[in-house]
Structure 1
Amino acid sequence: MNTSHQPHILVVDDDADVRELVTEYLGNNEMRVSAARSGPEMFALFDREAIDLVLLDLKLPGEDGMLLARSLRERATVPIVLLTGRSEEADRVMGLELGADDYVTKPFSPRELLARVRAVLRRYQVQATLPERDSSRRAYRFSGWELNLRTRRLLSPQGVSVELSNGEFSLLNALCRAPQRVLSRDQLLSLSRLHEGEVYDRTIDVQIRRLRVKIEADTAHPQLIITERGAGYRLDAEVETLF
Structure 2
Amino acid sequence: MWKFDLHVGHRADVIVITEQTNHGGTIAEYFTSHGFEATCTSCLRDGLRRLSATAPNLLILDLKVGQQEGYEALRFVRSKSMAPVIIITDPGADEIDRVMGLELGADDCVAGTVGLRELVARARAVLRRRMSASSRSDRGRRRGWYHFHGWVLNHRGRSLTSPAGTPVRLSKGEFALLSAFVDAPGEPLSREKLLQATRMHEDIFDRSVDVQILRLRRKLEEDPCSPALIRTARGVGYVFTAHVEHVPRPARAIAVGPTAESGSRLSAGLPS
**For the superposition of Structure 1 and Structure 2, which TM-score range results when normalised by the shorter chain?**
0.5 to 0.7
Counterparts of 1:62-211 in structure 2, within 5 Å, are 64-89=69-94, 90-129=96-135, 130=137, 132-133=183-184, 135-136=188-189, 137-138=193-194, 139=196, 140-142=198-200, 145=202, 147=204, 154=205, 162=206, 167=211, 169-170=212-213, 190=219, 196=224
Does the alignment pair 1:60 with 2:65? yes
Q: CA deviation at 1:14?
A: 0.8
Q: 1:209 maps to which residue?
A: none
TM-score (norm 1): 0.60
Q: In structure 1, the residue corresponding to 2:261 is in which secondary structure?
A: strand
Output the aligned Cα RMSD. Answer: 3.2
Task: Letter of the 1:26 partner, please give it.
Answer: F
TM-score (norm 2): 0.54
CA contact (8 A) 1:13 1:37 kept: yes
Superposed structure 1 runs of 4+ greater than 6 Å apart: none
CA distance in 1, matches of 2:67, 2:104: 20
Q: 2:35 maps to which residue?
A: 30
- Relative distance call for 1:68 and 1:6 in structure 2 (3 A) is same
CA distance in 1, matches of 2:37, 2:10: 9
Task: Letter of the 1:99 partner, please give it.
Answer: G
1:166-216 deviations in Å (ceiling 9; x for gaps):
64x4489x6xxxxxxxxxxxxx9526x69837xxxxxxxxxxxxxxxxxxx
Q: How many residues align?
A: 172
CA distance in 2, matches of 1:4, 1:114: 18
CA distance in 1, matches of 2:24, 2:203: 25
Q: In structure 2, the residue corresponding to 1:72 is in which secondary structure?
A: helix
Q: Structure 2: where are the runs of 5+ without partners?
A: 1-7, 142-182, 226-256, 264-272
Identity across matched positions, percent: 25
Task: Letter of the 2:60 partner, please give it.
Answer: L
Q: In structure 2, the residue corresponding to 1:55 is in which secondary structure?
A: strand
CA distance in 1, matches of 2:261, 2:77: 35
Task: Letter of the 1:32 partner, please give it.
Answer: E
- Relative distance call for 1:64 and 1:164 in structure 2 (3 A) is closer
1:152-179 deviations in Å (ceiling 9; x for gaps):
xx1xxxxxxx465964x4489x6xxxxx
CA distance in 2, matches of 1:72, 1:6: 22
Q: In structure 2, the residue corresponding to 1:35 is in which secondary structure?
A: strand
